[in-house]
Amino acid sequence: MSDQIARYKTDRVAFGHMLLDYLNGEEALEIIERDDGFIDPNDGCKTYFSEFKDWPACVQEALGGLLPGRVLDLGCGAGRMELYLQSQGVEVVGIDNSPLAIEVCLKRGVKDARLLSVTQVSSDLGIFANILMMGNNWGLMANRQRARWLLRRFYGMTSFPARIIAASNDVYHTDSPYHLAYQAYNRERGRMSGQIRMRVCYQMYRSPWFDYLMVSKDEMKEILEGTGWHVEQFIDSPGPSYVAVIGKVK
């Protein structure tokens, strides 16, 4: 693992340094920068390190829908999902493309955390009954084309039955002129309204720019068509966030 971490440290540092500093008791403010110049500072670290009792009700309810069997957590961050599921006797594998995030996971007691990007997952990891995309991590789909490609890949590395439990944010539930203008800007460029080009900033560190996809419920259903997956249930929150329980079609 140490050799892997050394290879990646140079270009994926912001998110991991933030998590490591927070783990070490320092204040850590996450800043999201969008490609139109919009800046969003937030205290996301508290969420990344939070415990089950503090999670939104929609997340708690969604996890009750996990099927018996192995769980793959995409974008595991500081390992909050892994630690909870391990305490419930569930076999879970977490992946993240931040080497320092993986280091944080292991320091916190996560048993199986691996340095991988979402596009590198395959049946080489084994077969899973559940795939988690929590903390708005449906966003890792990046765009419609990659989403459909990943969904077909997930189909080949899951048992039957299987579920994807994915959290997203309906970007249309806003009256912010800045967000509405950005959605229009995206559509002008032939992108989905919620296809956000962004990077994570922390102190002197900057992540590479990447696409992060947020979708409405109807858009999610449209993306799923023909991929072998369908929405079984949407679990709402008081705001624009929701969790989708997605089942495998035989």
pLDDT, tens only, 57-108: 999 999 999 999 999 999 999 999 999 999 999 999 999 999 999 999 999 9
CA distance 12 to 101: 10
Compute CA distances 2 → 6, 77, 84, 99, 202, whole Å.
Answer: 6, 18, 25, 9, 23
CA distance 231 to 213: 17
| Structural domain count, the chain | 1
Percent of the chain predicted with pLDDT > 90: 93
pLDDT band of residue 11 (cuts 50, 70, 90) is very low
At residue 35, the 3 state secondary structure works out as coil
Residue 115 lies in a domain: yes
pLDDT beyond 50 at 178: yes
pLDDT band of residue 22 (cuts 50, 70, 90) is very high
**Bridge partners, 95 (sequence order):** 74, 114
According to the model, what pLDDT value does residue 6 have?
Answer: 52
CATH number of 240's domain: 3.40.50.150
Residue 113 lies in a domain: yes
CA distance 2 to 191: 38
According to the model, what pLDDT value does residue 44 have?
Answer: 83
According to the model, what pLDDT value does residue 140 have?
Answer: 98
pLDDT beyond 80 at 203: yes
Residue 20 lies in a domain: no
pLDDT beyond 80 at 4: no
Residue 110 lies in a domain: yes
Q: Give the H or E element holding residue 109.
A: none
| The model's pTM | 0.94
Q: Give the H or E element holding residue 160.
A: strand 158-169
Residue 72 lies in a domain: yes
Residue 175 lies in a domain: yes
Residue 10 lies in a domain: no
Please check whether residue 140 is in contact with residue 118, taking contact to mean a CB–CB distance below 8 angstroms: yes
Residue-range definition of the domain harbouring residue 181: 56-193+210-248
User: How large is the average pLDDT for residues 119-140?
Assistant: 97
Please check whether residue 206 is in contact with residue 40, taking contact to mean a CB–CB distance below 8 angstroms: no
Residue 11 lies in a domain: no
